[in-house]
Structure 1
Amino acid sequence: MEGRLSPGRASSPCGLRLILLPLMLLLLSCCRAEEEVLMNTKSETTDLRWTNHPADNPEWEEMSGLDEELNMVRTYQICTPKSPSSNWLRTRWIPRRAATTLYVEIRFTMMECSGLNQRHCKETFNLYYYQSDKDEATPTHPAWMENPYTKVATVAADHLLRPGGDRRSNIKLVRLGPLRGAGLYLAFQSQGTCMALLSVRVFYRKCSSLRRAFASFPETIPHSLVEQAQGVCVENAVTPPGEHSQPPSMLCGEDGQWVGQATSSCACRPGYEAVESDVRCRACPSDHFKAGPGPSGCRPCPTYSSTKIPGSAYCPCYSGYYRADSDPPHAACTRPPSAPRSIVSQVNDTTVTLEWSEPLDRGGRGDLTYRVLCSSCGTASKGLAGSCSPCDDSVLYRPAQRSLTQRRVVVWGLHQYTQYTFIIQSLNGVSALSQSEPASDKVNVTTNRDVPAPVSGLKRTASSETSLTLEWDAPVLQNQYHILDYQVRYSPKDGEEAGQWQYVSSRSSSVVLTGLHRATQYQVQVRARSQAGYGSFSGANSFSTQPDGARNSQLVVMAVLVSMGILLLIAAAIVAVYCYRRRRTRSDISDKSGHFPMGQTMKVYIDPFTYEDPNEAVREFAKEIEASFVKIEEVIGAGEFGEVCRGRLRIPGRKENYVAIKTLKGGYTEKQRRDFLSEASIMGQFQHPNIIHLEGVITTSCPVMILTEFMENGALDSFLRMNDGQFTAIQLVGMLRGIAAGMKYLSDMSFVHRDLAARNILVNSNLVCKVRWSPYLSP
């Protein structure tokens, strides 16, 4: 159906309804085809003045008449059923503009020959064209013959005029191309036809402007099967930077339809999201943002941020909140942490151990770190404390002074009997962006205090399922101080509670820990306290709450289970080796017997001439089709025993499709019939996507026919010559692979083709190549 009505063309009420429905569907489609009319005789208001041949006795007569809508039109008529002579009618020069493929729509009527009772009467006429770069034709040039004219088709009527019958006209649409000249002439040849040319319309199809994949493609005239139309990104869409980014492109088919998917890297730019599928980008609303290009949509602003500007690529943070440089745009805004809490110091000679608790507010981030600042405030014995200055490089820190992730640091290298101030600062990823100093807490210490030495000899004296009894050796003091008490801390060694210390105190060198978990390992540390303060914790020791007897019984059970597992593995290995050797022995016996494994079969080609009755081979390999299911449309060639036609096959319950039809002309012998149908008996055995498919045969009526799938682009040799230089290497390799796959299939079936050549390869509209075979190929 046409994409739009050409000027000067009307329709009857019935025809108008038939046109409006497809028009409505096409208007809803984003890929509709448009037509550009180059010539339309229905819109002419004066004589057409076409050229007749022979000029001395013209048979084509120009007349005025009424079309179906009772509009006055100019027509040509001819009726020479008594003479087989050629009578030509040539149009004026038609410029083709930028199109390389044209379409010719012919509306005509034709008399039925049976009613005229003339032996030379025909019900077909021929259509030709002649290309030229300018209007140069004369009554004698070019010569009135098939060469230099190019034959387009032999046109047959679908509806013939009969006395007393309906006066129905015929409409034929033919394709011309590829064209290279600046223009062309059309020529109509009649050889005994009684007909009337009601109208001739010449036009080309073009792809309408299109938006797809965030790219805009202009109105495009197709030029070849492989030429891509170039587009541009739509407003507020961009092509991401990179060496692989290419301009948008899409294939405009010669029928004026956009083909396939658009090749486009266009995407909505930051701050814009897609609407209406993939054709437009709109700005993100207030309090929404989109950080980068791509198909993702706008997102609400993260916590503690907002924007009032449409089309924002990020949301600014509230006052006092920040987003680190390493944070993605969709991360929430955060703030610096609060100060660390509860700093505890332990002094041992000139070494200080500092521990503290986590801040109450981490600022909403997980990258919390600490920094230790040291200041020396003078020697306490000389009364110089109070004038503080930063510690020099002789003071060392373990594990580090800055970027601490744990809440403990050991400082050594301090001076004797000196007062120090230590400041612990909390920092996170946005502390550097804040204008204020990091939150901190501080502690004052004095070196050379005689605290107790670390406790040693920690051991378990008893245990139960929920308790541990521990004791240790008391440290020896070198001064007048004595031990005031001990502090014990413990936590599970593994699990979720690992590292969560619990503290108990004891005045003696032993303690009972209660309320513990059953069969759990605990790590325990002990330190002593004197008047000088706490000493260092002892090294961590591990103890289990499970009683000794239960522990020993568990070890025995575990040993038994491990032994049983090893025995089972050994038994499984022995069985596996035995089964493998037995299977190998059976396989060797099977191979030596010379038989194929069960289930492996292969289909092999069967020569139909081995059948006593050749008709039996036809019935076995070919499907019989009723003649009423087939409609012949036009003759496209000649075969060994008759004509080759194009037609339509409509089987109830199946989709109508085009078929190629080989006919057996009348007067054949039985041998000719058998040879003709042998082709179907052979083709019916092949089922492969790269072998011409047999649809069926018609043997119960006359003429006898063979129906195969219809290949739109014809033989490969002529198709390549007509489109020379228009295919990519990938497309050509794809054609070769299809041919190779078809030939391999024939070889696997033990069938010898005997004549593989480009003329015996047919090409369909999708550039799929298929091998054809005929008993009349050259040996």
Structure 2
Amino acid sequence: MTMDYLLWVCSLIVPVVLAVEETLMDSRWATTELAWTTFPESGWEEVSGYDDSMSPIRTYQVCNVRQPNQNNWLRTDFIPRKGVLRVYVELKFSVRDCASIPNIPGSCKETFNLFYYESEGDTATDTSPLWRENPYVKVDTIAPDESFSLLETGRINTKVRSFGPLSKAGFYLAFQDLGACMSLISVRVFFKKCSTTIANFAVFPETATGAEATSLVIAPGACVTNAMEVSVPLKLYCNGDGEWMVPVGSCTCVAGFEPSADGTQCQACIPGTFKSKFGEGSCAPCPSNSRTSARGANICPCQNGFYRADSDPPDSGCTTIPSAPRNVISSVNETSLSLEWEEPKDTGGRSDLVYNVVCKKCLRDRSPCTRCDDNVDIAPRRLGLRQRKVVVRNLQAHTRYSFEVQAVNGVSGKNPTSPSYSTVNITTNQAAPSAVPTVHLMRSTSDTLSLSWLPPEKPNGVILDYEIKYQERGQAMSHTVTSQHSSSKVEGLRAATPYVVQVRARTVAGYGRYSNPMDFSTSLHSDPQKSVQDQLPLIIGSASAGLVVIVAMVVIAVVCLKKQRSGSELEYTEKLQQYISPGVKVYIDPFTYEDPNDAVHEFAKEIDISCVKIEEVIGAGEFGEVCRGRLKQAGRREMVVAIKTLKAGYTERQRRDFLAEASIMGQFDHPNVIRLEGVLTRSCPVLIITEFMENGALDSFLRLNDGRFTMTQLVGMLRGIAAGMKYLSDMNYVHRDLAARNILVNSNLVCKVSDFGLSRFLDDTSADPTYTSSLGGKIPIRWTAPEAIAFRKFTSASDVWSYGIVMWEVVSYGERPYWDMSNQDVMTAVEQDYRLPPPMDCPMVLHQLMLECWMKERNMRPKFSRIVSTLDKLLRNAASLKVVTSTYSGDLLRLGGTLPGHNRKSPESSQEIVRQQMSQTLPIRV
């Protein structure tokens, strides 16, 4: 996740829009009699009355309190629902206090019942549906907040009730009186909806709320004119109160258009201005040396003679080519040349100025100059020079050359003319010859050495003669002789004596360099017929002996390197142990081993294939099948085990990763971490043997046993998981994929951390230890901390975030975190500080601990050691687990708001309860 994405998330602010209500029926609109259906005729009576603003309206009243066993029904006309799923009913009524009515029987009531009946059309009659609760659906029993006596009239009550989901074309409302003296002043039926809004340059249509109060209805959006999508899909959630929440996706103004002042539309850039990129930026004046007369321009074209390089951004100014380099100075030294120059007077307005040096060789017959051969050496290089000096070597003697020093910048290729350059012409001088190649011994006697050699590769003129220098090995005094040819005989030497010989050539320019020194020896006896061919057997024998020595040295070097590597690994382990307390193990990453077999054999026990018996396949893993089997080893009882197999046709990398998991597990020894029994690497297939967990993965186990455990049992499971993670954290180990699916449960409900496929070594030598993933693997979004998603920074603190999600999974009996929201919606909601609400019957102290695990600042999250201590205190003080949230809510909880299901009028009360219950267990952040 890039910083641009984080800025985009922070900009997703939806304007505050009050919920909109649309009325389906209002009895106050009636200008004539309502004529609603009543049963019996002696019950409800329609009369003229006044509303609370003293406007005349039609009302219904009933007051048969002196007659027992009243059952009076009043039914409205058919009300079309217009496709909405949930409706609201606002009732205004007054009720007389039974105590103010003298001499009445005990059957007097001060309440009435509200019902509804769905129908595909206006089909109700005086007798159908039957006047009873079934087929009518009861909404609620309505009681007044205030009743009145004869001396206190005008006390009007207002009540609002809702019901749904509705599925048919419309419905009737019915009111049942069981013996009250009351007046039904007005009835208004309406539904709530989120009004049309524009957010992030996207238009979201008017949307009715869902069937339930906690429903979230998705409204798709569309970009405004001249805007484009930057993230999809475009949608908002309309909640049950008719308010927009959790915006997803965003639009932005396209290039050439900028946001309007009210932020609701994209308007074109005026002439003389431009906007090169899509985004929220404003139009800007054209940069230097460019102009535009069009509206909505996304680039300003360059003026004549000015250009932009292909790599220049559209909002950069236009530039031009540089002028020629100034004051080129040449210095010739025989067949070498030094060139220096000054910067051009005009660099074209750019900072990417470089220089090219072009060498041309010119013949004497006035023909055009041609490019120099590749053997001409220009140092440091020919093209793309930053410095203003080069040295040219290997030129031919007495030859005329022309050198162009070109000034080039990023727009030189845009100009049709040739680059700006300065020219310098030089003629090389006579040069001494190059060195003589290797000297050969043709014949030796007791007092002579017959020598030969090849002429220099570059004589640079006519060779006048050669000088042969010789001296006894180890002696400082040397002698010289000359020769007109490429061979010579050196005489007057001592018998059986080694000599060092060198040869050099001379031209009119002087002597060249000596050849490399060569060792030759005179013979013991004078034998003028002895030649080089006579010495061939000795030469061949010496060469063979030398070859044997070389091979032996190579073998010794390889062995030393292997020993050195083993010593390095041992030294690495010893140094690593210096950072931890004595007696405490530290996790060692198996990927530091060159050969995975070295790691797995160091940390895992090799088991013989005869000890393992596979009984049945129980699942499939990443690398192959997972089986149940039995392990019988000498001196140990037979035990049931889980067996992971490496599928046939595996690659070497798959085998390495498969064995790496065993190398990781083999380092751990804790009752809440899955135990490795051993591996089989010398058989086919390759196997990993672990202890067998009878109840399998924790998430599926909880779903199969929904509601069957006490809260104390669930907290005990959570305590075991936290203890295992504390052990792993103390070993400097980051799990990176902690989730209920990766926790295994045995027959005693002991939970153990497993699945170490995403784990890596945590280096704690730094102040803020982190692991940076270099792989492009998938990240489990719903369980991963936001900093790990955005920057792939995994720490023990990110494991604590994942542990909070595991707590929610356990208390909700394996429900999917964030339900059916997409991963993108989850990331957006978490960035906006939305968090999961407490599951049904969740103790407040546990949800408070979840919220601490989900703190945005990772340094503020609790350590696993404190989580274990907290859960231990809760298990000792079981009363703290009895204070639970009142209801379950499917809405996300926004940090700093109230807990879903609690009284929104007094959030302090619920938080005070949490504070009191947790004062002995957790620090509270309110």
Q: TM-score, with normalisation over the residues of structure 1?
A: 0.54
Q: Which residue in the other structure is 1:331 paired with?
A: 316
Contact residue 885 and residue 901 of structure 2 kept, 8 A: no
Q: Which residue in the other structure is 1:221 paired with?
A: 208
- Output the amino acid matched with 1:248: L
Partner-residue secondary structure (3-state), 2:99: helix
* Residue 727 to residue 153, structure 1, CA distance change in 2 (3 Å): farther
Q: How does 1:174-213 map to 2 (within 5 A)?
A: 174-213=161-200
- Output the amino acid matched with 2:384: S
Q: Which residue in the other structure is 1:529 paired with?
A: none
1:68 Cα deviation from its structure 2 partner: 5.3
Q: How does 1:60-139 map to 2 (within 5 A)?
A: 60-67=44-51, 71-82=55-66, 83-117=68-102, 118=104, 119-139=106-126
Q: How does 1:621-640 map to 2 (within 5 A)?
A: none
Residues 80-116 of structure 1: CA deviation (Å, up to 9, x unaligned): 1122422111112212111111111112222222221
Provide the C-alpha distance between the structure 2 equivalents of 1:371 and 1:276, rounded to a whole number of angstroms: 52
Q: Which residue in the other structure is 1:155 paired with?
A: 142
Q: Which residue in the other structure is 1:456 paired with?
A: none
Q: Which residue in the other structure is 1:444 paired with?
A: 425
Partner-residue secondary structure (3-state), 1:141: coil
Residue 164 of structure 1, aligned match among 151, 156, 176 = 151
Partner-residue secondary structure (3-state), 2:184: strand
1:35 partnered with 2:21: yes
* Residue 335 to residue 78, structure 1, CA distance change in 2 (3 Å): same
- Output the amino acid matched with 2:419: P
Residues 581-607 of structure 1: CA deviation (Å, up to 9, x unaligned): 9xxxxxxxxxxxxxxxxxxxxxxxxxx
Contact residue 845 and residue 881 of structure 2 kept, 8 A: no
Residues 120-171 of structure 1: CA deviation (Å, up to 9, x unaligned): 2222211111223333333333333333322222222234333233424222
Partner-residue secondary structure (3-state), 2:413: helix
1:239 partnered with 2:331: no
Provide the C-alpha distance between the structure 1 equivalents of 2:285 and 2:325, rounded to a whole number of angstroms: 34
1:367 partnered with 2:352: yes
1:78 Cα deviation from its structure 2 partner: 0.4
Contact residue 844 and residue 884 of structure 2 kept, 8 A: no
| Greater mean deviation of Cα atoms: 38-47 or 727-736 | 727-736
1:766 Cα deviation from its structure 2 partner: 6.1
Q: Which residue in the other structure is 1:420 paired with?
A: 401
Provide the C-alpha distance between the structure 1 equivalents of 2:383 and 2:287, rounded to a whole number of angstroms: 31
Residues 228-261 of structure 1: CA deviation (Å, up to 9, x unaligned): 1111001111013xxxx313211223333x3224
1:254 partnered with 2:240: yes
Residues 405-440 of structure 1: CA deviation (Å, up to 9, x unaligned): 222223334333122221111101100001222111
- Output the amino acid matched with 1:123: E
Q: Which residue in the other structure is 1:322 paired with?
A: 307
- Output the amino acid matched with 2:409: N
Provide the C-alpha distance between the structure 2 equivalents of 1:354 and 1:62, rounded to a whole number of angstroms: 113
Contact residue 256 and residue 297 of structure 2 kept, 8 A: yes
Q: Which residue in the other structure is 1:346 paired with?
A: 331
Contact residue 50 and residue 185 of structure 2 kept, 8 A: no
Contact residue 739 and residue 770 of structure 1 kept, 8 A: no
* Residue 741 to residue 282, structure 1, CA distance change in 2 (3 Å): farther
Q: Which residue in the other structure is 1:666 paired with?
A: none
* Residue 759 to residue 735, structure 1, CA distance change in 2 (3 Å): closer
Q: TM-score, with normalisation over the residues of structure 2?
A: 0.46
Residue 820 of structure 2, aligned match among 708, 728, 745 = 728
Provide the C-alpha distance between the structure 2 equivalents of 1:755 and 1:134, rounded to a whole number of angstroms: 52
Contact residue 217 and residue 231 of structure 1 kept, 8 A: yes
Contact residue 843 and residue 885 of structure 2 kept, 8 A: no
Q: Which residue in the other structure is 1:144 paired with?
A: 131
1:403 Cα deviation from its structure 2 partner: 1.9
* Residue 317 to residue 765, structure 1, CA distance change in 2 (3 Å): closer
Higher helix share: 2
* Residue 92 to residue 250, structure 1, CA distance change in 2 (3 Å): same
1:47 partnered with 2:139: no
1:755 Cα deviation from its structure 2 partner: 11
Residues 645-703 of structure 1: CA deviation (Å, up to 9, x unaligned): xxxxxxxxxxxxxxxxxxxxxxxxxxxxxxxxxxxxxxxxxxxxxxxxxxxxxxxxxxx
1:184 Cα deviation from its structure 2 partner: 1.5
Q: How does 1:335-484 map to 2 (within 5 A)?
A: 335-379=320-364, 384=365, 387-448=368-429
Contact residue 842 and residue 885 of structure 2 kept, 8 A: no
Provide the C-alpha distance between the structure 2 equivalents of 1:754 and 1:769, rounded to a whole number of angstroms: 20
Contact residue 840 and residue 887 of structure 2 kept, 8 A: no
Residues 375-401 of structure 1: CA deviation (Å, up to 9, x unaligned): 33324xxxx357534434453422322
* Residue 104 to residue 441, structure 1, CA distance change in 2 (3 Å): same
Q: Which residue in the other structure is 1:471 paired with?
A: none
Q: How does 1:677-696 map to 2 (within 5 A)?
A: none
1:66 Cα deviation from its structure 2 partner: 4.4
Provide the C-alpha distance between the structure 2 equivalents of 1:727 and 1:84, rounded to a whole number of angstroms: 50
Residue 249 of structure 2, aligned match among 245, 260, 264 = 264
| Greater mean deviation of Cα atoms: 750-759 or 39-48 | 750-759
Unpaired stretches in structure 1, ≥5 consecutive residues: 1-27, 452-531, 533-576, 582-719, 721-725, 774-779
1:266 Cα deviation from its structure 2 partner: 0.5
1:336 Cα deviation from its structure 2 partner: 0.9
Q: Which residue in the other structure is 1:59 paired with?
A: 43
- Output the amino acid matched with 1:748: L
* Residue 363 to residue 294, structure 1, CA distance change in 2 (3 Å): same
RMSD: 3.8
Provide the C-alpha distance between the structure 2 equivalents of 1:190 and 1:412, rounded to a whole number of angstroms: 115
Provide the C-alpha distance between the structure 2 equivalents of 1:350 and 1:755, rounded to a whole number of angstroms: 95
Higher strand share: 1
- Output the amino acid matched with 2:98: C
Provide the C-alpha distance between the structure 2 equivalents of 1:289 and 1:388, rounded to a whole number of angstroms: 49
Provide the C-alpha distance between the structure 2 equivalents of 1:737 and 1:184, rounded to a whole number of angstroms: 35
- Output the amino acid matched with 1:402: L
1:354 Cα deviation from its structure 2 partner: 1.6
Q: Which residue in the other structure is 1:591 paired with?
A: none
Q: Which residue in the other structure is 1:655 paired with?
A: none
Give me the identity figure in percent. 40
Partner-residue secondary structure (3-state), 2:207: coil
Partner-residue secondary structure (3-state), 2:279: coil
* Residue 103 to residue 277, structure 1, CA distance change in 2 (3 Å): same
- Output the amino acid matched with 2:224: V
* Residue 337 to residue 755, structure 1, CA distance change in 2 (3 Å): closer
Partner-residue secondary structure (3-state), 1:375: strand
Contact residue 385 and residue 419 of structure 1 kept, 8 A: no
Provide the C-alpha distance between the structure 2 equivalents of 1:425 and 1:337, rounded to a whole number of angstroms: 10
- Output the amino acid matched with 1:31: V
- Output the amino acid matched with 2:112: F
1:271 Cα deviation from its structure 2 partner: 1.3
Provide the C-alpha distance between the structure 1 equivalents of 2:393 and 2:15, rounded to a whole number of angstroms: 81
Contact residue 226 and residue 251 of structure 1 kept, 8 A: yes
| Greater mean deviation of Cα atoms: 210-219 or 39-48 | 39-48
